[in-house]
Structure 1
């Protein structure tokens, strides 16, 4: 049985100012976007469009706004609508936690729509560039979840079960690590290899939606549902219900003519 190391969530303390591990994970996610994105725009298709590092940085800036605003608003609407409708100013209190991947995804989609219009190019041209860069960023985010000891898993007796002392003394799935490995590293590698060959517009995006949706759906069986929400219809969690449209639309994008 493993014990969660209970790492101090503050990575660097300078006087009264503290830099949290989770904030550093976001920073690393954005850095990897630029580093890998520069490799992507060197491909002939994007070179022909005249894309530059400046365009990539503008896309990242728009994407960051989409992630933060969409993630926060999505969490408020998907997970705790009654509370936030009664306390709308609490939506601004991002330091209290509460971000939704699916809400962040919608925010990023809006950012890509804006960027595609600015570039006068297809939305799928933008999303196919972004899709292989997202999972590695998600991996950093899940590492941040693990360091914070949040989003823990359901009870289990597997050899790698982990006790989260701040929660209870019950051995649980380290579901943050599952998500890091499958939604992050594995999906990222698959997409990176898949995107290296010319694909029909939308197919790389479709593979991301399908791959993430399947990984998230399966990992949710090991992840403890939110206490205030529990399981919903058919015994599925909110994360699973929100992943089903991703899977279906991903299949459509991969198979459309």
Structure 2
């Protein structure tokens, strides 16, 4: 007997599909992903306006990051689930059938932003500082679609805020009361957004350029690492693959922060060196 037989459970009876237009299936996941991208771009535009980067440049950069993010998300998913594509590699490009990896999207998006900044001669660390708060809000909004469709399976729960998916079209786990893990991620991303935005506005001038973005990466990764214990994803050496990626990103953020802090300190020391007195003339 399922835990929902003994405890009240939040029932989610929502069709994950919005409409079908010919061969195109519009889903709530897609709708909220688009809304999240737009919201992230607007936050980035607001923050980068103070850095002398125009709104047109921000939206141009967003296109680069979104395209690179989609490619990265799909490629990592294919790599993690290659057995699904053996003998049918043409399905790799069938994005309408679903199947993406968020870590692949993050990595691809960051690389897209780096490529754009190099092309336009803009310090990538400035971009990274704005990307942090922007992505946190965008990810939170995007998770609303995951809450609706239930595709990220979680472990069973008898807590009063556990959920059960009952819609016939659901991608969730009908008949089971489970943790709403993606809902927890949504709340965590909102907290990270608030923290990163506050840090950007209050402490950015005191911190080396890029550290706010690394703070977002570390906090997001920490939350993802902890919450992934509630998922039913396959294990790799005792941890979920997303957890290994999270640990790698936390380490990368820590190393880059240390390097940039040391670099900033050295640069300030060089500018403060006293100049040698000149000999009197005459």
TM-score by length of 1: 0.88
Matches of 2:98 and 2:249, distance apart in 1: 25
Question: In structure 1, what is the equivalent of residue 5 of structure 2?
Answer: none
State the alpha-carbon separation in 2 of the partners of residues 137 and 242 from structure 1.
Answer: 20
SS of the aligned residue for 1:4 comes to strand
1:1-257 pair list within 5 angstroms: 1-12=8-19, 19-43=26-50, 46-47=51-52, 51-77=53-79, 79-84=80-85, 86-165=87-166, 167-182=173-188, 184-196=189-201, 197-198=204-205, 199-225=207-233, 230-233=234-237, 235-256=238-259, 257=262
Task: Indicate how the Cα distance of structure 1 residues 15 and 117 shifts in structure 2: closer, same or farther if over 3 A, else same.
Answer: closer
Distance of aligned partners of 1:18 and 1:88 in 2 relative to their CA distance in 1, 3 Å threshold? closer
1:28 and 1:140 in contact (8 A); partners too:
yes
RMSD (CA atoms) = 1.9
| Unaligned runs of at least 5 residues, structure 2 | 1-7, 167-171, 263-282
Equivalent position SS for 1:111: helix
Contact 2:29-2:146 within 8 A present in 1 as well: yes
Q: How many residues get paired?
A: 245
Separation in 2 of the partners of 1:149 and 1:64?
Answer: 24
How far 1:103 sits from its partner (Å)?
Answer: 0.8
Q: Which consecutive residues of structure 1, in runs of 5 or more, have no partner in the other structure?
A: none
Query: 1:179 Cα shift?
Result: 0.8
What is the TM-score with the length of structure 2 in the denominator?
A: 0.81
- Write the distance in 1 (CA, Å) between the matches of 2:151 and 2:182: 8
Between Structure 1 and Structure 2, whose CA radius of gyration is higher? 2
Is the partner of 2:49 in helix, strand or coil?
Answer: coil
